[in-house]
Amino acid sequence: MTKFKAPLFIIALSLAATSASAKRADHAWPELGVDASIVFPNYGAIRNFEADGNDGIWIEDQQRRWYYGEILGSCQGLNFATAIGFDAGGSSRFDKFSRIIVDGDRCAFSSFVTSEKPLPRKERKRLAKEAALKAKATAN
The total of structural domains in the chain comes to 1
Is it the case that residue 2 has pLDDT exceeding 80? no
Residue 61: inside a domain: yes
Residue 65: inside a domain: yes
Measured CA to CA, the distance from residue 95 to residue 105 in angstroms comes to: 18
Contact indicator for 101, 81 with CB cutoff of 8 Å: no
Question: What is the secondary structure of 41-71 as a DSSP string?
Answer: GGGTTEEEEEEETTTEEEEEETTS-EEEEEE
Residue 27: inside a domain: no
Residue 4: inside a domain: no
Is it the case that residue 124 has pLDDT exceeding 80? yes
Residue 15: inside a domain: no
**pLDDT tens track for 60-117:** 999 999 999 999 999 999 999 999 999 999 899 999 999 999 999 999 999 999 999 9
The pairing of beta strand 99-102 with beta strand 93-94: unpaired
Residue 52: inside a domain: yes
Domain, as residue range, for 114: 38-119
Residue 87: inside a domain: yes
Residue 77: inside a domain: yes
Query: Torsion angle of alpha carbons 109, 59, 65, 41, nearest 10°?
Result: -80
